[in-house]
Amino acid sequence: MAVAKNLVDEAMLAAKKDVEEAKVAARQEVERAMAGTNREISNAMVAAQTDVEEAKIAAKKDVEEAKVAARDEIAAAMAATKLDVEDAKIAAKLDAEDAKDAARQEVEAVTAANKLDVKAAMAVAKNLVDEAMLAAKKDVEEAKVAARQEVERAMAATKREISNAMVAAQTDVEEAKIAAKKDVEEAKVAAR
């Protein structure tokens, strides 16, 4: 009986030792798994943050490029408009000079034919000059109006481009945030 009891006690001690060793091994395995999971979650969050930052940088770059393109387009439109106005002024001045020359020639012809009709010829010449000046002024005004409309159209188009670029940039950032959040959630689910 004493031998049997010793055998039972030894078996119980061995079994208890096996259970303790199994607990220790299980605890170590759980700790290793938790450490690996934490690293995976941390890596996923870092990658997600990096994606968001890259999306923000790309969006900002797109907006800056749109602004630069808009400025260039406005500058080109304004330069072209200024040239159109200058051309119209030059053409108007030439028209006025031509009208003055024609009027002067007509006055001289009338004066040579009949000095008594000089006053009448001068009045006709003045009317011709006035009409030419009015026409020239009208041409300049029309050129200014056309130029203003061109600048307004360019500004409106530019504003639309900037607005579209900012909307697209915001959409990219939001999508990057959603994707990053999804990656983190998937990492958490995988960790569980």
Please give the pLDDT value at position 169: 76
**Please, what are the averages of pLDDT over each run of 10 residues along the chain (192 residues)?**
72 79 82 79 80 79 78 81 83 82 81 70 82 86 86 83 82 80 78 70
Number of other CB atoms surrounding residue 139 within 10 Å: 15
For residue 2, give both structure tokens: 């004493």
So what's the pLDDT on residue 135?
Answer: 85
Alpha carbons 33 and 39: distance in angstroms, whole number: 10
pLDDT for the residue 154: 78
Residue 117: the pLDDT is 65
Q: How far apart are CA 192 and CA 184, in angstroms?
A: 12
3-state DSSP call for residue 102?
helix
What is the rounded distance in angstroms from the CA atom of residue 135 to the CA atom of residue 124? 16
Distance separating alpha carbons of residues 89 and 141, to the nearest angstrom = 10
Containing 132, the helix (H) or strand (E) segment is helix 118-191
CB 92, CB 139: distance < 8 Å: yes
